């Protein structure tokens, strides 16, 4: 008999011991099925030394394992990564492990899965629900549950359609092999500068050593082409590459571009995959035949068979910070994974984060610079529009200068992009008579009007309501006004100014699935769109050669609020969106509307002197001992009742240890004082870089107790505070 020490996929549990009988060969990393009370649960065999159990059960009381899955065990570097992530971010190891294993159904040996699709026949009896289902499903296929979600009907409706013959079952193989991308398919000739960078990356891939790179190149300088050469090298070595992108909306254009370069698609991994696609991808990943995997954060913890390279594209993006569940930063965990796997990692960005620049400055990361756009493309001309001197007419947001520029592009049949980082029509609805403002009942947030949906929506919890006919306070009927612009309102303004212009809105509402994002890219490329109005989603990655004008509607938006990274983020966002202009043969022009043309951020953008802006920001952080020169951790205490949250917060505050080099602020209401119906209090820990702040927090919170229903979460290296 052997003892198997198993970490089950239940975040509330530590590792438990089981008995492995003779027919079960287990080793650390083996994926197993174990009994837990009356139920069964998937888990992974772990080393006792690195993850000890709380108490030892005698040999004679051990329950036997039920099964050992026929998949390769989780490799040691991944097990160490899971432990590191759990330690660093103070999360239960099982919560991290869950990100490495998809649903347990992927583990069974089945080679096929049954999906459903429309046959084209009309059902004998048509109902509005059935009509809606068939209409929305169209050509798509999936599990009954997936089709029900797509169609927004109950599973019963789909089953009824199956019975009536309008939907049929099809057998899908989840075992179809992934054809390997061809490194020599259609390489481009690199410029000298590009070649130098690509050579360094390829060498590190060939040497199979840990080496972090900062690939710092202006927008359109060919960063993607350069790291494609590193991928080609990994492919030649037969090893896998992971490419992390900040948004799933970006995967589709990336896939197309990759296919053009390597002849075959890479494997996509994101939350929108169907069960069958997910299972096929996961199998390809664990067996090592999925050579290149592109995905959002969640692809980071997958059990790659033989990982040889990691790329983090748009590495400065804040969406790499996970704000739910395990609160980790995918960029930082990716670097740790590369270290444990002993492979190179490339952080690519035109506007690297100060944290990343600093690593390069002290020589920990190798910096590779691309200083020029490829070919004839020049960097765009950037100009500020002083909104005090050149204001838009009342009730409008596009200044006359920008209107003229738009007219000019429309005339020349070139494309324009207007950037405003606000979804919906208007961020606030207000009663003119009594001043009532529509607030979310669950969150400290205004209800945002979405005219396209015909709803008011909370962007934090998703609460929505029909647009009110009257003010709930004073009952006045014609007194409600939309305050301020969102992208929908700007799109209306463009349509009113230029009735013939074809206007598209690009936000996470309109590009919510890879398919919709792909359609948007196609329409842009085909020239079917004249003006795009978009949020930060369009600032990233896209390459539209005919886009020559960019207008930033409100450059001051990101600067309000006391956020540590506000100036840096504003700079990055505007520089990125500016970088969408003039990427082809025609020169680009950027207008930045602002009330503060003298602000350092705006000045840096106008002069193109990013370095002095970053130097000043870095210096300010050094003085304040802010990241990366010092560290923060936020302790968030939440409860349905304010008093409960406050009581626990005070308890935690009172028991704060006095530690040299550490200071605790609060408790105070968290920046979002109420979220999804829970009151939130916050303590902010500021510590010297060298302090093991995680250990301090573990020792501090460990012995404390709080009532059920109170949640305490620690956000190490928090982003929004």
- The residues of the shown chain that bind ligand ADP, judged by CB under 6 A, are 188-191, 194, 217, 219-225, 374, 543
Spatial distance between the Cα atoms of 638 and 337, rounded to a whole number of angstroms: 32
Task: Give the interface with Zn ion as residue ranges (CB under 5 A).
Answer: 440, 442-443, 458, 460-461, 463
458 is in an annotated binding site: yes
Nearer to ligand ADP, 262 or 304 (CB): 262
Only one residue has tokens 């490829």, namely 374
Tokens 């620049």 correspond to 357
| CB closer to ligand ADP out of 229 and 715 | 229
Q: Which of 683, 672, 685, 682 is nearest to 633 (CA)?
A: 685
Q: Give the residue from 697, 674, 675 showing the smallest Cα distance to 684.
A: 697
461 touches which of Zn ion, ligand ADP, none (CB within 5 to 8 A by kind)?
A: Zn ion
Beta bridge partners of residue 426, listed in sequence order:
449
Q: Quick one: 276 or 576, whose CB is closer to ligand ADP? A: 576
Going by C-alpha positions, the residue among 185, 317, 345 that lies closest to residue 246 is: 317
Is residue 471 a known part of a binding site? yes
The response to whether 440 counts as a known ligand-binding position is: yes
- From ligand ADP, Zn ion, none, which one binds at residue 359 (CB under 5 to 8 Å depending on kind)? none
Nearest approach in angstroms of CB 514 to ligand ADP is: 19
Residue 225, binding choice from Zn ion, ligand ADP, none, Cβ under 5 to 8 Å by partner class: ligand ADP
Q: Six-digit token pair at 506?
A: 């690009």
Sign of the CA dihedral with 16 first, then 17, 23, and 24 last:
positive
Residue 522 structure tokens: 């196609």
Specify the residue, 546 or 715, whose C-beta has the smaller distance to ligand ADP: 546
| Residue that is written with structure tokens 């207000």 in the block | 430
224 binds, among ligand ADP, Zn ion, none (CB under 5 to 8 A by kind): ligand ADP
Residue whose CB is less far from ligand ADP, 585 or 620: 585
Instruction: Measure Cα distances from 445 to 362, 458, 490, 677 in Å.
Output: 41, 7, 22, 12
Number of neighbours of residue 500 by Cβ within 10 angstroms = 7
Nearest distance in Å: CB 220, ligand ADP:
4
Strands 503-506 and 448-450: unpaired
Considering only CA atoms, which of 479, 429, 477 is closest in space to residue 449?
429
Nearer of residues 192 and 500 to ligand ADP, judged by Cβ: 192
Buried b (16+ CB within 10 A) or exposed e, 340-349: bbebbbbbbb
Closer CB to ligand ADP, 221 or 416, in the complex: 221
The smaller minimum CB distance to Zn ion, of residues 255 and 461, is found at: 461
**Closer to ligand ADP at the Cβ: 219 or 457?**
219
The closest of 360, 425, 368 to 397, measured between CA atoms, is 425
Q: Which does 220 bind (CB under 5 to 8 A by kind): ligand ADP, Zn ion, none?
A: ligand ADP
How long, in residues, is the chain? 721
**Least distance to Zn ion from the beta carbon of 669, Å?**
16
Q: How far is the CB of 254 from ligand ADP (least distance, A)?
A: 10
Q: Is 483 annotated as a binding residue?
A: no
Quick one: what does residue 201 bind among Zn ion, ligand ADP, none, with the CB cut-off 5 to 8 Å set by partner type? Answer: none
Q: Which residue lies nearer to ligand ADP by CB, 325 or 375?
A: 375
H/E segment holding residue 577? helix 566-578
> Which is closer to ligand ADP, CB of 147 or CB of 244?
244
Q: Report the residue number, 18 or 213, with the smaller CB distance to ligand ADP.
A: 213
C-beta of residue 262 within 8 angstroms of C-beta of residue 151: no
Residue 217 contact partner, candidates ligand ADP, Zn ion, none, CB within 5 to 8 A by sort of partner? ligand ADP
Cβ–Cβ contacts within 10 Å for residue 366, how many? 18
Min dist CB 711 to Zn ion, Å, is: 17
Nearest approach, Cβ of residue 122 and ligand ADP (Å) = 46
Task: Find which of ligand ADP, Zn ion, none residue 189 binds, CB within 5 to 8 Å per kind.
Answer: ligand ADP
Sheet containing strand 2-8, edge to edge, reads 16-20, 2-8, 39-45, 31-36, 67-68
In whole angstroms, the minimum distance from the beta carbon of 678 to Zn ion comes to 11
Minimum CB–partner distance for residue 423 and Zn ion (Å)? 14
Q: Tell me the closest approach of the beta carbon of residue 674 to Zn ion, in angstroms.
A: 8
Taking CB positions, which residue lies at the least distance from ligand ADP? 222
Question: Which partner, Zn ion, ligand ADP, none, binds residue 246 by CB below 5 to 8 Å per kind?
Answer: none
Q: How far apart are CA 440 and CA 459, in angstroms?
A: 9
| Residue 440 partner contact from ligand ADP, Zn ion, none using kind-dependent CB cut-offs of 5 to 8 Å | Zn ion
Q: Residue 500: which of ligand ADP, Zn ion, none does it interact with, CB under 5 to 8 A by kind?
A: none
| Residue 443 assigned ligand-binding role | yes
Burial of 225 (0-12, 13-18, 19+ CB in 10 A): buried
DSSP state letter for 62: P
The rounded distance, in Å, linking the Cα atoms of 679 and 643 is: 9
Q: Which pairing describes strands 344-349 and 167-173: parallel, antiparallel, or unpaired?
A: unpaired
Torsion on CA atoms 284, 287, 293, 298, rounded to nearest 10: 90
Pairing of strands 240-244, 211-217: unpaired
**Shortest distance, position 642 Cβ to ligand ADP, whole Å:** 47
> Nearest distance from residue 680's CB to Zn ion, in Å?
12
Is residue 45 within a helix (H) or strand (E), and if so which, with residue range? strand 39-45
Shortest Cβ distance from residue 219 to ligand ADP (Å)?
Answer: 5
| Number of other residues whose CB lies within 10 A of the CB of residue 10 | 18
Query: Which is closer to ligand ADP, CB of 191 or CB of 508?
Result: 191
How many Cβ atoms from other residues are within 10 Å of residue 488's Cβ? 25
Residue 53 binds which of Zn ion, ligand ADP, none (CB < 5-8 A, kind-dependent)? none
Q: Which listed option, ligand ADP, Zn ion, none, makes contact with residue 374 (CB within 5 to 8 Å by class)?
A: ligand ADP
**Residue 460 touches which of Zn ion, ligand ADP, none (CB < 5 to 8 A by kind)?**
Zn ion
For the bound state, the minimum distance from the C-beta of residue 450 to ligand ADP, rounded and expressed in Å, comes to 32
Taking residue 618's Cβ as centre, other Cβ atoms within 10 Å add up to 18
- If the CB atoms of residues 247 and 509 are measured against ligand ADP, the closer one turns out to be 247
Cα 167 from Cα 123, distance rounded (Å):
9
- Report the nearest approach of ligand ADP to the CB of residue 414 (Å): 17
Q: Residue 162's closest CA among 123, 108, 210, 213?
A: 123
In this structure, the number of other CB atoms found within 10 A of the CB of residue 35 comes to 14
Within a 10 A sphere around the Cβ of 494, how many other Cβ atoms?
22
Q: Residue 474 annotated as binding? A: yes
Cα–Cα distances (Å) from 559 to 445, 570, 595, 621, in that order, read 18, 7, 11, 17
Query: By three-state DSSP, how is residue 117 classified?
Result: strand
Binding-site residue positions: 431, 434, 440, 443, 458, 461, 471, 474
Binding-site residue positions for Zn(2+): 431, 434, 440, 443, 458, 461, 471, 474
């Amino acid at each position: 008999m052997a003892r198997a020490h198993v970490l089950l996929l239940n975040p509330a549990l530590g590792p438990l011991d089981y008995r492995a009988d003779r027919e079960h060969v287990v080793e650390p990393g083996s994926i197993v099925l174990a009994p837990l009370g009356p139920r069964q649960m998937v888990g992974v065999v772990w080393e006792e030394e690195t993850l000890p159990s709380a108490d030892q059960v005698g040999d004679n009381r051990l329950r036997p394992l039920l099964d050992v899955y026929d998949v390769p065990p989780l490799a040691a570097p991944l097990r160490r990564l899971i432990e590191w992530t759990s330690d660093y971010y103070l999360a239960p190891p099982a919560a991290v492990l869950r990100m490495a294993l998809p649903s347990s159904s992927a583990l069974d040996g089945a080679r096929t899965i049954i999906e459903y699709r429309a046959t084209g026949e009309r059902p004998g009896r048509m109902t509005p629900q059935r009509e809606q289902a068939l209409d929305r499903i169209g050509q798509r296929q999936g599990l009954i549950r997936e089709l029900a979600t797509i169609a927004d009907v109950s599973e019963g409706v789909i089953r009824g359609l199956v019975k009536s013959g309008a939907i049929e079952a099809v057998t899908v193989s989840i075992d179809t092999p992934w054809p390997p991308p061809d490194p020599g398919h259609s390489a481009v000739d690199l410029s000298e500068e590009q070649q130098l960078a690509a050579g360094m990356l390829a060498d590190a891939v060939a040497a199979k050593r840990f080496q972090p790179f900062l690939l710092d190149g202006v927008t359109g300088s060919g960063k993607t082409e350069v790291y494609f050469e590193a991928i080609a090298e990994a492919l030649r070595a037969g090893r896998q590459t992971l490419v992390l992108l900040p948004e799933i909306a970006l995967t589709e254009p990336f896939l197309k571009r990759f296919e053009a370069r390597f002849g075959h698609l890479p494997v996509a991994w994101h939350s929108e995959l169907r069960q069958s696609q997910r299972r096929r991808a996961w199998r390809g990943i664990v067996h090592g035949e999925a050579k290149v995997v592109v995905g959002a954060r969640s692809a980071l913890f997958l059990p790659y068979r033989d990982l040889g390279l990691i790329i983090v594209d748009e590495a400065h993006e804040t969406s790499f910070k996970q704000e739910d569940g395990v609160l980790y930063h995918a960029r930082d965990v990716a670097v740790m994974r590369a270290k444990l796997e002993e492979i190179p990692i490339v952080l690519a960005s035109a506007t690297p984060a100060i944290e990343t620049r600093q690593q390069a400055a002290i020589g920990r990361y190798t910096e590779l610079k691309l200083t020029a756009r490829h070919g004839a493309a020049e960097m765009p001309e950037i100009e500020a529009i002083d909104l005090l001197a050149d204001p838009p007419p009342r009730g409008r947001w596009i200044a006359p200068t920008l209107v003229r520029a738009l007219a000019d592009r429309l005339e020349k049949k070139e494309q324009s992009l207007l950037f405003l980082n606000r979804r919906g029509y208007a961020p606030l609805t207000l009663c003119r008579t009594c001043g009532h403002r529509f607030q979310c009942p669950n969150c400290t947030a205004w209800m945002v009007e979405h005219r396209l949906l015909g709803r008011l929506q909370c962007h934090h919890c998703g609460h929505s309501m029909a647009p009110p006919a009257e003010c709930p306070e004073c009952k006045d009927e014609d007194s409600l006004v939309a305050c301020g612009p969102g992208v929908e309102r700007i799109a209306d303004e463009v349509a009113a100014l230029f009735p013939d212009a074809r206007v598209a809105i690009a936000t996470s509402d309109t590009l919510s699935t890879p398919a919709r994002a792909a359609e948007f890219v196609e329409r842009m490329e085909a020239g079917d769109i004249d003006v795009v109005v978009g949020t930060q989603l369009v600032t990233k990655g896209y390459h539209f050669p005919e886009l020559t004008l960019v207008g930033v509607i409100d450059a001051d938006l990101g600067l309000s609020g006391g956020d540590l990274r506000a100036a840096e983020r504003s700079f990055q966002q505007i520089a990125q969106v500016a970088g969408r202009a003039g990427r082809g043969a025609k020169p680009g022009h950027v207008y930045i509307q602002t009330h503060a043309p003298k602000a350092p951020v705006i000045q840096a953008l106008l002069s193109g002197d990013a370095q002095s802006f970053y130097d000043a920001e870095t210096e300010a952080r050094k003085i304040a001992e802010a990241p990366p020169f010092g560290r923060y951790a936020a302790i968030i205490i939440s409860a349905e009742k304010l008093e409960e949250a406050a009581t626990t917060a005070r308890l935690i505050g009172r028991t704060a240890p006095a530690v040299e080099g550490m200071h605790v602020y609060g408790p105070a209401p968290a920046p979002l004082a109420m979220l999804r119906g829970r009151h939130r209090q916050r303590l902010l820990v500021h510590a010297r870089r060298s302090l093991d702040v995680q250990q301090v927090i573990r020792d501090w919170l460990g012995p404390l107790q709080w009532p059920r229903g109170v949640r305490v979460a620690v956000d190490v290296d928090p982003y929004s505070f």
